[in-house]
Amino acid sequence: MSPREMVDVMAMDDQARYGKFMVNEAEVHDDAFSWDIDAWYGSDDNKLWIKSEGDLDDGQHFDIDLLWDHVFARWWSIQSGVRRESRDGEYQEALVLGLQGLAPQWFEIEARVYLDEHGGVTLHTKADYELLLTQRLVLQPELKLTVNSRGNIDLGVGSGVSELEMGLRLRYEIRREFAPYVGIGWVRSFGTTGDLTRNRGDDNNTLQALAGLRFWF
């Protein structure tokens, strides 16, 4: 949810129930398709929230989070729930505890800790910012970092800092609810995760052009 959209939500009746389905990213890059989707329903203070991210290329990797979102301060909420992650037919479940909101200067921050069924802990962090070049043209830099307490060969991840992802997307809002975009993305896998990535025949350090669509209703 962008800062402008969060302002819109805050202006609503805090006792009303409402929902949103938002495709933050639906994009193609090289021979792959990836997505980042949020859907939620509830009041300003409490919501049922579903999140999903994934990639489809030679294989598949996706995750789904089912969360309860509770606002504890202006612009900030805590989230808790469960996750199911899949990589090429291998599955893993985890408990989730997270935080999301707007930092000073309107940086959107997400941080989630996952405790999986094998006792491993994973930290996912994400930060992005929207720079309005015009009323319709928006430049959005994004940074993601993943850290694991232990490895999981079946899921293709190692311990320590496993992946760093940076993106820069330029979108044109035909309407607020509908915006095509283009951009570039850089992904780097580290340590054992990088080794496992290369063993699958993939590059552990990629720079790629991308194009996609952002929409919500």
What is the DSSP track for 60-83?
EEEEEEEEEEEEEETTEEEEEEEE
Which two three-digit tokens encode residue 216?
């919500």
Domain span including residue 37:
3-216
In terms of C-beta density within 10 A (0-12 exposed, 13-18 middle, 19 or more buried), how is residue 132 classed? Answer: exposed
H/E element holding 30? none
The two structure tokens encoding residue 165: 């992802």
pLDDT along the chain (217 residues), means of 10: 57 75 94 94 96 85 95 95 87 94 92 91 95 96 91 71 92 97 91 70 84 97
CA angle (43, 105, 18) in 5-degree steps: 15
Q: Parallel, antiparallel, or unpaired for β 46-56 and 32-42?
A: antiparallel
C-alpha span between 43 and 8 (Å, rounded): 13
Which CATH number goes with the domain that contains 33? 2.40.160.40
Please give the model's pTM, rounded to 2 decimal places.
0.84
For residue 194, the SS3 value is: helix
Q: What is the pLDDT of residue 92?
A: 87
In the chain, the number of structural domains is: 1
Nearest by Cα to 6 from 32, 36, 40, 30: 40
Predicted local distance difference test score (pLDDT) of residue 189:
81
Q: Which residues pair with 121 in a beta bridge?
A: 115
Residue 118 has what pLDDT? 83
